[in-house]
Amino acid sequence: MAKISAIFWDVGGVLLSNAWDHNERREAVAHFGLDADDFEQRHRSAVADFETGRLGLEQYLNHTIFYRERQFDREAFRQFMFSRSKSKPDALTVARKLASSSSYLMSTINNESAELNEYRIREFQLDEVFDLFVSSCFVGLRKPSPEIYQLAMNLTQRNPKECCFIDDRPENLQPASLLGMHTIRMEGADKLRNELMALGVEFR
């Protein structure tokens, strides 16, 4: 088996809570008294552009929330969106341990909008962990499109057999596996550590 030299990580659901997934949106609906069906329909029509950087946060909010007058302001809604992000300390500890060893190239492959992605990088010091961010908002591609995984390998000049990709969703793991990458479904930090060690990844 080829030695693992690069580890690619999803962010939301693995290292942090999700940024703006269905649970976070459901909380926003309850908190701000939104029409759930209307909001979800508007979100679905905008999310691809939002997560690939073609639509900024203000444009997204114009389309989904502030297309009519509200009893709350934009800043309140933005702050609510950002406040949903929480760390998963045990998983972050695993990632930080591998980063500190300097033995592996560490990169993300994640779907996030630009403003939330940049906030989360700063807030949780992810730039101390990762050498590269292959974020959908930066590269204009989203998982599970095979192109984003191929781009990550092209950018890092890695053979698939040298790569491991970690995600919590099977539909995001399948394209990586089909390209020849090793994959691990995130089901807890201890299991993640054991599965990485089974691939020959060393914790020093």
Mean pLDDT to the nearest integer, 172-185 = 98
Provide the 8-state DSSP code for 16: B
pLDDT for the residue numbered 2: 86
Structure tokens, 55: 């639509």
> What is the model's pTM?
0.96
**Is it the case that residue 149 has pLDDT exceeding 80?**
yes
Q: So where are the chain's domains?
A: 6-17+87-198, 22-83
pLDDT over 70, % of the chain: 100
Superfamily of chain region 22-83: Putative phosphatase; domain 2 (1.10.150.240)
How is residue 127 annotated by DSSP?
G
- Mean pLDDT (the chain) is 98
- 131 phi/psi in degrees, rounded to 5: -80, -25
What are 55-112's pLDDT values in tens digits? Answer: 999 999 999 999 999 999 999 999 999 999 999 999 999 999 999 999 999 999 999 9
Distances (CA, A) of 147 to 9, 64, 110, 114, 141: 16, 28, 13, 19, 7
CATH no., domain 6-17+87-198: 3.40.50.1000
pLDDT reported for residue 194 = 98
Q: 17: alpha, beta or left, given left = phi > 0 and alpha = psi -120 to 50? A: beta
